[in-house]
Structure 1
Amino acid sequence: MHRAPSPIINVSPSDFAETESIQALLASLPQRIDELPERIAQHHPTAPALIENTRRLSYADLRDAINAMAQQLRLAGVQANDRVMIINENCIALIVMIFATTRLNAWPLLINARLSSAEIEQIRAHAKPCLTVYTTEASATAQQHAQRDHAWHASCIAFDIGALAFSKAAASPLGLSPSLTPHDPVPSAATLTTDRAQQCAALLYTTGTTGTPKGVMLSHHNLLFIAAVSSTLRHVTANDIVYAVLPISHVYGLASVCLGTLFAGAALRLAPRFSPEAVCHALAHEGITILQGVPTMHAKLIEYAQAHPEYWHTPQLRFVYSGGSPLDATLKRRAEALYAMPLHNGYGMTESSPTIAQTRLDVPPTDTSVGPPIPGIQVRIVAADGAILKQGKVGELWVRGPNVMLGYYRDAIATQAAVVDGWLKTGDLARQDANNALHIIGRCKELIIRSGFNIYPAEIEQVLNSHPDVMHSAVIGRPLLGDEEIIAFVELKPGICATPQTFVSWCAARLAPYKQPAEIRLLKALPTAATGKILKRTLHQLFTDDSSPPLR
């Protein structure tokens, strides 16, 4: 087995949080995420970096593939501060494209291929990428988007990284935005800097409460800080093989799973979509040592393993982690019985790159807390009036540190509202216990987290309300086996007769699968206050109150 270079800092978990250790860590970080492959290749060129079924790249291969792809992007006209949209599912080609884009100081705009065409066009209209790339071999859905956009296929480089397709920015198949010029508009002066570490390394869109996507700009320093801390806390070494099924288009998959693995010189085993059968096979036969997932993945894996115990074998597994959405105590117990080890937990958000808190290997909690804040950041619990609350009190969680985003792309007002004097206002209610562990109590707003993805009701309500038969709609989340499902309530216009299936089909054509309601209920009238505001508390009670209003 190969050995990684000496760790960036030699510390134990107990002294990792000391100021001196954090300062040493920050001072020793590379400036750019695309330097990670070269950093390992200099000492261990043949060490495995990326695994995708039978396709493999060593660290030297990855370095060379990045250089070749960067040259191809340069010839295609990509310049510094351009946005390159990558419509993707996890694969080697995606990793190469991310690093090649940042090599030119352009911004990778990562888009999950499972988004609908309308959702992609809304983001495209705002970000104005100069080029769109599709990971067509790894994703049939990306292939469909490529066909819609009349993209061309090209054998890009000498390395076998998988097929890609490309389309220029001027394409606007749905007519939702005007024709775009390759370099219009450039990022504002506030986002441009000569500090290479503080330049934008990834542009990730997250939907706001209004249903309008917001582009989160994360710097190289943001992402490398989380990669280094995550890798150190998990004790990742060059001997690890990390299973990467969490979407790398999501910040959790990008920073913690992907970059955290490559920071340590470990191997990343890429999988485009979650399949219990595939995970079982990889755990049993591919030497997987680290498994990270959202609670629903663990729940489905438990169900499969119990139904097929003959396939369950985890000879190398040493660390299992849950994140991305709330962890249910029952699921935690079931998972720990299956894995025969603690199920670790954590919390974060896109705007914090993402990690804010994480349980520790040496002190696994028995509850479902998300652990203490990670080293190097500060947190505070704040009351609605702005007062800082004492330990044990519930309030909004604020965080400050090297993980806080650069801001929202082309939205200074939203940035100023979210970040105050360096403090990121998470919008989540939390308390901190006597051991400094954070407990996430709920969300200040109406965010629904399903399968690790953030979903805002307003986004779905806008789609429902756009149907000609709909008077009003309201969307809420309902807990389900450590996850949340989406429930929609619809009030029809007078004299209209319809069935829930009408609106199921309507949503299916306009929303990504994970955003589609699990259930649509038709009501004679939505409950409202005197002001006309829809009372969502009453809708929540429909599931527990026998005196529910009649359903159509």
Structure 2
Amino acid sequence: MSSVDEFTAAELLDGLPSRVHEVYAPFVRDIPDHPAFVEGGRSWSYRQFSEAVDAAAKDLSDLGVRPGDRVMIASENSVALGAMLFAASKLDAWGIAVNPRLSAREIDLIGTHSGARRALFNSALSKEAADHAKRVGAKIGAVGPFGGIGVGPLNEDAQAEPVERDGARQVAGLLYTSGTTGAPKGVMLSHRNLLVTGRVSGLLRQNRLTDRIYGVLPMSHIVGYSILLISTLMHGSTLHVVAKADPAALAHAIAEEGITSLFGVPATYQRLLEHKAVKGIRRLERGKLRLMSVAGAPLDLDLKKRIEDEFGIPLLNNYGITECSPGLSGVRSEHPVSDESVGPFLPGIEHRIVDGQGRTVATGEVGELHVRGPNVMLGYYRAPELTAAAIDGQGWFNTGDLARVNGEGHLYIAGRTKELIIRSGFNVYPAEVEAVLNAHDQVVQSAVVGRTVDGNEEVVAFVQLLPGARVSTEDLKAYAAQQLTSYKRPSEVVVLDALPSASTGKILKHQLREIAIARASAKTSDVAAAG
């Protein structure tokens, strides 16, 4: 039995702080000079980071941020982003971390839906954030010790949400997904949601004071926020902050900079191996690396074996969902597996697997996975109907995923009942991409599907054009690129005379997936024949 499995749900909750920004207080007191972060060669001690959070909180308050307000922060991974998220926590405000690589349309939708009191842009770190700041008329200044922060205009119409008397139920983070309708969907995660996930994650990975954890997954997404940022500081470890993924930098950090723990998506590991091949490296150095974890997309077993052979340690598969903060299951380091299992459920998680009529299926049979536990979200912001559809009266959350559990209690994900595409660990909802393509004046309709490629998924769009239309597929890709962040953009656009549909008019996406797969196979065959 793993040490994490020795804890009951009650024990996991016992002694938790009331707010996420309180997780690092014991280390500020006991080991204040221990490094909390390393960023660009600079080390930030726990004391220095705590002082930065306090200063940022004061400045946010001076900027009119009140308890219950929403604060949107567009930034790449950075100490500044972490400090501003914790500063929001100190003020009982809701932090909304967003990727600055989102388009203007996407940023504005989140700002409008959330009713953010202020929007902040880390212009010092990326051109994308600087462009957004300029577009909204933000004034460049400092927040705490961090310069180059674009401060957007005060939203005088913003209404503060009530502050919960029970601090554990106060919203700490509002994480946005696009939603199956293409409209923004804000996942309300409480302090307790995030804190219990942080504790379980640290226990599962046996985090130590001597650990240096590679922080490449964006804090604007749930793994980067809860597992990398919060859990690392909760256990006194050091977060090696990385603004943008770079396989060469990752290989160097593992070999030379003392990285002990890596959490990535399958594409993280795929790109490492591509880097090795391109550079003609005989073998990637393991350095002090003791733990490799993966989640966010289906794990190809060939990729798993190649990475394990390369580094000589297991690649541990995990499963979670934003609405569950995110952890639901994980392979234990003491009991690695060779198959595609995502491990046993984590402590505190109740589960049931049901058929279409809501009846529990037999062990080993596939059904829809429902879960319940202290990590399940409060709901979707300003969307009571969506919340009621996702969480029933007994607190069961419908993941929308098809799964099975074997006799040893290991979970296997069989597929998605939703049409969600997961690309490099990021959620892509077809409806959002379709809405952008359908807005083109020469497009009749479109349909978007996912296609598996090299341990990842890519976006393939099928479009039907108006008669006589002269727009090319490259024109459509360029059009989509103006309105969608990089991971949402179609890798391929295919023009059909008509999209396959049922008598009801519903587009038959399973047929489109078959076409997408066949096109990829044909290209592979052509390349092989040419070689």
> 1: CA distance between counterparts of 2:14 and 2:83?
26
2:46 corresponds to 1:56: no
Q: 1:361 to 1:110 in 2, by over 3 A?
A: same
Number of the residue aligned with 2:323: 351
For 1:381-396, list aligned pairs within 5 A.
Answer: 381-396=353-368
CA distance in 2, matches of 1:217, 1:378: 20
Please give the alpha-carbon distance, in whole angstroms, between the structure 1 residues aligned to 2:344 and 2:411: 6
**What is the aligned partner in structure 2 of residue 441 from structure 1?**
414
State the match for 1:92 in structure 2.
Answer: 79
One-letter amino acid of the counterpart of residue 524, structure 1: D
The answer on 1:67 being equivalent to 2:54 is: yes
Asked whether the equivalents of residues 37 and 60 of structure 1 are also in contact (C-alpha less than 8 Å), the reply is no
What is residue 243 of structure 1 aligned with on the other side? 214
Instruction: Tell me if the contact between 2:451 and 2:516 (Cα under 8 Å) persists in the aligned partners.
Output: no
Pairing partner for 1:297 from 264, 268, 271:
268
Deviation sequence 1:447-477 (CA, Å, 0-9, x none): 1000101111111111111111011111110
Q: Indicate conservation of the 8 Å contact 1:470/1:492, yes or no.
A: yes
Of residues 202, 226, 241, the one that matches 1:270 is: 241
Q: Which residue of 1 aligns with 2:340?
A: 368
Alpha carbons 1:251, 1:353 under 8 Å: kept: yes
Which whole-Å CA distance do the structure 2 matches of 1:379 and 1:509 have between them? 42
Matched, 1:17 2:17: no
1:506 to 467, 479, 500: 479
Give the Cα–Cα distance (whole angstroms) in 2 for the partners of residues 39 and 311 of structure 1: 40
Q: Counterparts of 1:191-230 in structure 2 under 5 Å?
A: 192-230=163-201
- Equivalent residue in structure 2 for 1:456, among 418, 424, 429: 429
Residue type at the aligned position of 2:5: A
Residues 417, 52 of structure 1: alpha-carbon distance in 2 compared, 3 angstrom cutoff: same
Any stretches of 5+ residues in structure 1 without a counterpart?
1-12, 171-180
Same amino acid, percent of matched pairs: 43
Counterparts of 1:128 and 1:56 in 2: how far apart (Å)? 35
CA contact (8 A) 1:281 1:311 kept: no
Q: Aligned partners of 2:465, 2:269: CA distance in 1, in Å?
A: 39
**Structure 1 partner of 2:120:** 133
RMSD over aligned Cα, in angstroms? 1.6
Counterpart code for 1:236: N
Deviation at residue 528 of structure 1 after TM alignment: 1.3
1:401 aligns with 373
CA distance in 1: counterparts of 2:443 and 2:104, whole angstroms: 23
Q: Which residue of 2 aligns with 1:183?
A: 158
> What TM-score do the two structures reach when normalised by structure 1?
0.91
- Aligned to 2:440, the other structure's residue is in SS state coil
4+ residue runs of structure 1 moved beyond 6 angstroms? none
User: Counterparts of 1:106 and 1:182 in 2: how far apart (Å)?
Assistant: 16
Identify if the C-alpha distance between structure 1 residues 486 and 545 changes in structure 2 by more than 3 Å, giving closer, same or farther. closer
In structure 1, C-alpha distance between the alignment counterparts of 2:83 and 2:55, rounded to whole Å: 10
Residues 37 and 62, structure 1, Cα contact 8 Å, conserved in 2: no
Aligned length: 518
Q: Please report how far the alpha carbon of residue 533 of structure 1 lies from its aligned counterpart in structure 2 after TM superposition.
A: 1.2
Q: Is the 8 A contact 1:17 1:376 kept in 2?
A: no
* Distance in 2 (alpha carbons) for counterparts of 1:545 and 1:342: 33
Q: TM-score, normalised by structure 2?
A: 0.95
State the match for 2:384 in structure 1. Answer: 412
**Does residue 119 of structure 2 align to residue 153 of structure 1?**
no
Does structure 2 conserve the Cα–Cα contact (< 8 Å) formed by 1:93 and 1:162? no
Distance 1:52 1:311 in 2: 27
**1:87-109: CA deviation from partner (whole Å, max 9, x where unpaired):** 01101100110001110000001
Which residue of the partner structure matches residue 528 of structure 2? none
For residues 481-526 of structure 1, the C-alpha deviation after alignment (integer angstroms, 9 at most, x for no partner) is: 1110011011011222221012111101111111000000111111
| Structure 1 CA distance for aligned equivalents of residues 169 and 143 of structure 2 | 30
Matched-pair contact (CA < 8 Å) for 2:2–2:332: no
- 1:328-380 deviation per Cα after TM superposition (whole angstroms, max 9, x unaligned): 11111111111211001101111000011111010011101110111111111
Measured after TM superposition, the shift of residue 155 of structure 1 is 3.0
Q: Distance in 2 between matches of 1:63 and 1:544?
A: 51
Distance 2:234 2:405 in 1: 30
Counterpart secondary structure, 1:168: coil
Conserved? CA contact 1:526–1:534, under 8 Å? yes
Q: How does 1:510-529 map to 2 (within 5 A)?
A: 510-529=483-502
The equivalent of 2:18 in structure 1 is: 31
| Structure 2 Cα separation of the partners of residues 26 and 369 of structure 1 | 27
Output the CA distance in 2 between the equivalents of 1:457 and 1:24: 41
For 1:544 and 1:146, locate their aligned partners in 2 and report how far apart those are by CA, in whole Å.
Answer: 41
